[in-house]
Amino acid sequence: QGCTQKYIVKNYFYYYLFKFSAALGEEIFYITFLPFTYWNIDHSVSRRMIIVWSIVMYIGQVSKDILKWPRPLSPPVVKLEVRTNAEYGMPSTHAMAATAISFSFFIATMNQYKYPFELGLVAAFVFSTLVCLSRLYTGMHTVLDVIGGALISAVLLILLYPVWDMIDHLLLTSPFCPLLSIVVPLVLCYNYPKLDYYSPTRGDTTTILGAAAGATVGFWLNNKYTAPVYTSKSFQLGLSLVTSKMVVVLARFFVGILVVLLTRWLMKSMVLGVLGYRYKFPIRDLEARRRLEVEVPYKFITYSSVGFTATVIVPLLHKLLGL
């Protein structure tokens, strides 16, 4: 269902602030920030964030479709988004993702880099708070949805923190890692809770698990066959970056994002073409693309390729280009 309400923006500062903040919990942020940390900051920090992000988001997405709590009624609420309106509300996965990513980044870096503890804590709190408030401003969630999402994410972080070094070690060294990284997410996607109507939650979950699966296989291959390209010493948060260093950082980022986006476009076209031929539907048929036998393989293969490219192909290209 589309958003049919008309509204007048009376405060453009809040409007653009919270529209931007809402984007910090969506694909555009994941596909830029998570690879950026891998290419320019520290492999171990990026790995931990991706582990936490994928687990938290899967639990959040499934919880939505199990609890089936509706989003705020419109009217009286004015909804500024359309796509996610078909999803249920509780918990807010924007709030969960923002809390998980900001605080896992803070926890993973606080003992490795020299910066004020208070500054990192405030930055994580401000980031997650802005995203949470954006869900209220855009009319997509109730206060309870947002608080519930943040609390669930916090509890999961507390539970995962004592074992994330062990999980990270197993993902890097276990000979079963590549197989399990593909099979387990696929099983979870194909057995996702069924609804009476179509919701983008299954597709979004497949996207997240696919990207994490591809990245995990990349982590394993890098650890087994190549030396790490970037370590924690290559980018110290407590030091001022000189111009030449900033140029290298930006070059890594833009080269990497270009390759990642190209990979996503190519794999999406190829996989949809194959599935369209197999199941006899035109590529632009949106209803056909929502079917389980199409949506799961299409999104999983596309985004696992993106995750693999970001962790294996792009670093190799950086090394080839002298970046």
pLDDT band at residue 1 under the 50/70/90 scheme: very low
Alpha-carbon distance of 60 to 149, in angstroms, equals 8
Q: Tell me how crowded residue 97 is: count the other CB atoms within 10 A of its CB.
A: 25
Give CA separation, 47 vs 65, 73, 94, 215, 313, in Å: 28, 39, 20, 8, 16
43 is catalytic: no
Average pLDDT of every residue of the chain: 84
State percent of the chain over pLDDT 90. Answer: 24
Q: Which of 43, 141, 169, 318 is catalytic?
A: 141
**pLDDT tens digits for range 136-180:** 888 888 889 899 999 999 999 999 888 888 888 888 888 898 999
CB 191 within 8 A of CB 209: no
Alpha-carbon distance of 39 to 211, in angstroms, equals 16
Helical axes 201-225 vs 164-173, angle rounded to 10°: 70
Q: Which of 43, 94, 169, 318 is catalytic?
A: 94
Give the largest Cα separation in the chain, rounded: 58
Whether the predicted pLDDT of 4 surpasses 70: no
Q: Which residue has the higher pLDDT, 113 or 52?
A: 52
Alpha-carbon distance of 46 to 36, in angstroms, equals 9
Of 13, 37, 9, give the one whose Cα is nearest residue 237.
Answer: 37
Alpha-carbon distance of 45 to 42, in angstroms, equals 5
Of 260, 261, 253, 258, give the one whose Cα is nearest residue 235.
Answer: 253
Name residue 134's amino acid. S
Q: Give the global pTM.
A: 0.83
Q: Which residue is it, tokens 């650890």?
A: 223
pLDDT band at residue 239 under the 50/70/90 scheme: very low
Whether the predicted pLDDT of 232 surpasses 70: no
